[in-house]
Amino acid sequence: MKANSFEAIPITAKLATKPVGLLEFARLAGHNMLEVIPVETTRQTYLRGPLNIHYICDPEIITELLVGAGRRFPKARFTKDIIGSAVGNGLILSEGERWRKQRHRYSPLFAARNLPMLATHFAQTGLEVADSLSDAPGIVDINQMSPASTITNISRVIFSGNEEVSAQQIRAGLKTYFDYISDISLFDLMQLPKWVPRLNWLKSDKPVTTMRDLARIVIENRRAQKRTEPEDFLDLMIAALDEDFEDLETTVDNLLTFVVAGHETSANALSWGYYLLALFPEMQTRIRKEVQRAAPRGPVGYEDLQHMPLLKAHLKETLRLYPSAAFFARDAAEDLTVKDITFRKGDALFFPVYSLHRHTQLWDLPDCYRPERFEDAIIPRGQYIPFGDGPRVCIGAQYSETEIMVLMASVLRQNEFLLTEAEIPRPVLTFTMRPEGPMMLEVRPI
Which of 262, 267, 265 minimizes the C-alpha distance to 145?
267
- Per residue, what are the HEC states of 351-377? ECHHHHHCCCCCCCCCCCCCHHHHCCC
Task: Record the pTM.
Answer: 0.89
Structural domain 22-445, CATH architecture: Orthogonal Bundle (1.10)
Tell whether the torsion through CA atoms of 94, 252, 385 and 178 is positive or negative. Answer: negative
Determine how many CB atoms are found less than 10 A away from the CB of residue 164: 10
Q: Are 190 and 22 in contact (CB under 8 A)?
A: yes
> Residue range 400-410: average pLDDT?
97
More confident residue, 75 or 359: 359
Residue 203 CB contacts under 8 Å (≥ 6 apart), including other chains: 180, 183
* pLDDT digit string, tens, across residues 90-99: 788 788 998 8
pLDDT in tens, 205-215: 566 677 788 78
Reported as a single tens digit per residue, the pLDDT across 249-306 is: 888 888 888 887 778 899 999 999 999 999 999 999 999 999 999 999 999 999 999 9
Q: What is the mean pLDDT of the chain?
A: 86
Q: How does pLDDT run across 294-351, given as a tens digit for each residue?
A: 999 999 999 999 999 999 999 999 999 999 999 999 999 999 999 999 999 999 999 9
pLDDT band at 355 (very low <50, low <70, confident <90, very high): very high
